[in-house]
Structure 1
Amino acid sequence: MHNRRDFLTATGSIAAGLALPTLATAQERRFQPRQGGWRTFELTTRVEPALAQGASRVWVPIPSLDTDWQQSLESSFATNGRAERVSDGVEGARMLRVDFDTAAAQPFVELTTRVRTRDRAVDWSHRQAVKEDRDTLAHALQPTTLIPTDGIVRDTARKAVGDARTDEDKVRRLYDWVVANAFREPAVRGCGEGDIKTMLETGNLGGKCADINALFVGLCRSVGVPAHDVYGLRLAPSAFGYKELGSNSASLKGAQHCRAEVFLQSRGWVAMDPADVAKVMRQETPQWIKTVDHPLVAPVYRGLYGGWEGNWVGYNRAHDVRLPGSRLGPLGFMMYPVAEDAQGRFDSYAPDDFKYQISARELKA
């Protein structure tokens, strides 16, 4: 096992003011998302719950975001159960709920959704005051069960931002702090749990996207910068050749990925993804890369501060999701199919046991 403590010691001094890399060599990989044309995908999720005992209920997430970078279009379904489109009612997560009774010998539901996506990239040379609904901004500052904004979270954020006063300066330092101190841990199941207080209290900042981007979101919120996670799914390979930043469209089990957004007063909602920087550093090559100046990492580190690639769909921005009709407690977030039967909740991180399949295909004009 790598000695992460030594790595933190070596990088901790740069966390508060890590400069953008100026490295530009012939070996540097290209990663430059640019807002442009739309891509249309058809996304199919098929669930065949392995009933252990009695009746069951399934919830399948439906893309629910309509923005300048995603359009959630029509959806349709086939099932031998009783299906209804529902919402959690608070956080805006949409889903298909399907009930199966004990007579269903081979229960199934297949949900097909069309979405349009495109790259995002902020123009840092252009400033303009942006108005946003007060309630939306207030909601993006609130603590959640897994993302508190007081105590060790706020203390950590204040140390990381130092003397920064503007929202952009704070976010720049927090992004750099997370990249320098958090790290991708492949052994974590699924996308992680996003329990940032425990991460900070234990000093173990290893995790996956739901951990690392939740940490970034919580740190931003704790110093007054509205932020939220966006929970979704990779749909296709990366156009820039990074294997870890794309997926196999024919089989998207395990392709779930959450990203982050922050609201900057002179930019509006801006894309961020420090978790994918960590993923490239840890998994793009057999060797763990431990510097953002590496020619493979540098363009990703730059590009994911203010942008992301449109080979991904966002389901929702929901935290503390209450599933309509569930007998059990809320979810920290929803970007996987969920099911319950008389014995309890299925393991969404085990699609082959659950069981479900997800695939996508790009529709050409």
Structure 2
Amino acid sequence: MSSLNRRRLLQSTALLAGASPLAFSSPALAQERRFEPKPEGWRTFEVTTTVTLKDPKGAATVWLPVPSLDTPWQRTQDTAWSASSGGELQLAADGDTGARVLVGRFGADASQPTIVLTNRVQTQNRAVDWSARPVGPAPDPADLHRWIEPSTLITTDGIVKKVANQIVSGARTDREKVQRIYDWVVVSTYREPKVRGCGVGDIKTMLETNNLSGKCADINALFVGLCRAAGIPARDIYGVRLVPSAFGYKELGGNPASLKGAQHCRAEVYLKGSGWVAMDPADVTKVMRQETAEWIKDAGHPIVVPVRKALFGSWEGNWMGYNSASDVKLPGSRQAKLGFFMYPQAETGGAARDPYDPDSFAYQITAREIKA
């Protein structure tokens, strides 16, 4: 880690501990907001993904991610699907990662292949209680080891290992190591709105080129990779925002009427004594770059501070996770393995559709909250 980045990290950490609205000169941006997600009961959502392939040009196959998580903060209640005439649907799972996938196949005579996938899920806010012991059985050591292993995009050797060692040097506990990595990612990376989709997530290239910009699949992947390189189990969770944030941050929620650009991955780490803990440094950088008309470049800014503090250990339950899978091989696909799977995928006439262009793909995702 360069002396400049180390200095920025220390300055930013100091501001986080003692920031006050009076310390900032812009009255328009000086009001500190509240962002304190805490478990307050389950919310039920019906999430519908509708795919209508335009101009299929021969036989077509569609793959849709299906929630495969059963956790203290998310549970799946029901999954239903339908297809237009001639379509064959099958619920499958990637053999290596267990990620669930709905596979739709259509013959060359299908003029407008259509699939409707509806998932009913329950979610809730989560927040770690640092003073409490984990509830439930201890995790399988083999499973924890899995989350230290590298993937194709989230590597843990070479420059990733070198940077991780520099960041955590002198840290005494795993929690302190993760805090160091989290702070380093927040002050060293930045969100780039021009990046397509959620980004690529090639962390080795990010560090080698010193281009530390990107979106959630880049920034949170870097966080996860650095944690793994430091010996701490960590993983991304790939999903989609469902509804606006209850705390008024427009960039931390989604428009339930149209979620086709609301995909977002979060992260979590395993800490002895606390279990799996929520993390999301990428959303801190999103607030800094896009929450206001002015690009906030100070991580100690009062609009940023509540988010930066809360997203180390908690997140809001206005989001649905699909899976934590990497290097996913879609059943019957001609494509190489996917680095991650949170976007609809399709092939028509032997060519892949662009998942980052939902209007020409074409697909739409909507959500509806079901009140008790």
Task: Please state which band the TM-score falls in when normalised by the shorter chain.
Answer: over 0.9
Letter in 2 for 1:326: S
Contact kept in structure 2, 1:44 and 1:112, CA below 8 Å? yes
Q: How does 1:106-121 map to 2 (within 5 A)?
A: 106-121=112-127
Q: Aligned partners of 1:10, 1:296: CA distance in 2, in Å? A: 24
Q: Give how far 1:9 is off.
A: 7.8
The structure 2 residue matched to 1:90, chosen from 93, 96, 108, is 96
Residue 187, structure 1, aligned to residue 216, structure 2: no
Q: Aligned partners of 2:45, 2:158: CA distance in 1, in Å? A: 43
What SS class does the counterpart of residue 96 from structure 1 fall into? strand
Residue 141, structure 1, aligned to residue 148, structure 2: yes
Letter in 1 for 2:185: V
| Aligned equivalent of 1:22 | 18
Q: Give how far 1:259 is off.
A: 0.3
| Aligned equivalent of 1:300 | 307
Measured against aligned partners, the alpha-carbon deviations of 1:107-156 in whole angstroms (never above 9, x if no partner) come to: 10000010000001111233569721112101100100001100000000
| Aligned equivalent of 1:166 | 173
Q: Give how far 1:92 is off.
A: 1.6
| Aligned equivalent of 2:204 | 197
Q: Aligned partners of 1:184, 1:126: CA distance in 2, in Å? A: 34
Q: Aligned partners of 2:5, 2:345: CA distance in 1, in Å? A: 39
Q: Aligned partners of 1:264, 1:192: CA distance in 2, in Å? A: 27
What SS class does the counterpart of residue 186 from structure 2 fall into? helix
Letter in 2 for 1:294: H
Contact kept in structure 2, 1:117 and 1:310, CA below 8 Å? yes
Contact kept in structure 2, 1:59 and 1:339, CA below 8 Å? yes
Decide which moves more: 308-317 or 288-297: 288-297
Letter in 2 for 1:213: N
Q: Aligned partners of 1:325, 1:232: CA distance in 2, in Å? A: 23
Q: Aligned partners of 1:292, 1:133: CA distance in 2, in Å? A: 37
Q: Give how far 1:70 is off.
A: 0.2
Q: Aligned partners of 1:286, 1:104: CA distance in 2, in Å? A: 46
Distance 1:16 1:97, change over 3 A: farther
Q: How does 1:216-295 map to 2 (within 5 A)?
A: 216-295=223-302
What SS class does the counterpart of residue 353 from structure 1 fall into? helix
Letter in 1 for 2:116: E
Q: Aligned partners of 1:242, 1:260: CA distance in 2, in Å? A: 19
Letter in 2 for 1:61: P
Contact kept in structure 2, 1:16 and 1:162, CA below 8 Å? no
Measured against aligned partners, the alpha-carbon deviations of 1:208-258 in whole angstroms (never above 9, x if no partner) come to: 000000000000000100000000000000000000000100000110000
Q: How does 1:198-213 map to 2 (within 5 A)?
A: 198-213=205-220
Q: Which runs of 5+ in 2 are unaligned?
A: 22-29
Q: Aligned partners of 1:63, 1:9: CA distance in 2, in Å? A: 43
Q: Give how far 1:293 is off.
A: 1.7
| Aligned equivalent of 1:4 | none
What SS class does the counterpart of residue 18 from structure 2 fall into? coil
Q: Aligned partners of 1:70, 1:127: CA distance in 2, in Å? A: 20
Decide which moves more: 326-335 or 50-59: 50-59
Aligned residues between the structures: 358
Q: How does 1:26-105 map to 2 (within 5 A)?
A: 27-80=31-84, 81-105=87-111
Contact kept in structure 2, 1:12 and 1:181, CA below 8 Å? no
Q: Aligned partners of 1:359, 1:161: CA distance in 2, in Å? A: 42
Contact kept in structure 1, 2:55 and 2:111, CA below 8 Å? no
Q: Which runs of 5+ in 1 are unaligned?
A: 1-7
TM-score, structure 1 as length reference = 0.95
Measured against aligned partners, the alpha-carbon deviations of 1:315-354 in whole angstroms (never above 9, x if no partner) come to: 0000000001112211000001000122411100000010
Q: Aligned partners of 1:267, 1:37: CA distance in 2, in Å? A: 21
TM-score, structure 2 as length reference = 0.93
Contact kept in structure 1, 2:56 and 2:112, CA below 8 Å? no
| Aligned equivalent of 1:3 | none
Contact kept in structure 1, 2:56 and 2:111, CA below 8 Å? no
Q: CA RMSD in A?
A: 1.6
Residue 13, structure 1, aligned to residue 7, structure 2: yes
Contact kept in structure 1, 2:55 and 2:112, CA below 8 Å? no
Distance 1:150 1:42, change over 3 A: same
Contact kept in structure 1, 2:83 and 2:89, CA below 8 Å? yes
| Aligned equivalent of 2:25 | none
Q: Aligned partners of 2:277, 2:198: CA distance in 1, in Å? A: 22
Q: Aligned partners of 2:20, 2:62: CA distance in 1, in Å? A: 50
Q: Aligned partners of 1:115, 1:135: CA distance in 2, in Å? A: 29
Decide which moves more: 228-237 or 123-132: 123-132
Q: Aligned partners of 2:273, 2:145: CA distance in 1, in Å? A: 17
Letter in 2 for 1:261: E
The structure 1 residue matched to 2:131, chosen from 125, 141, 146, is 125
Letter in 1 for 2:147: A
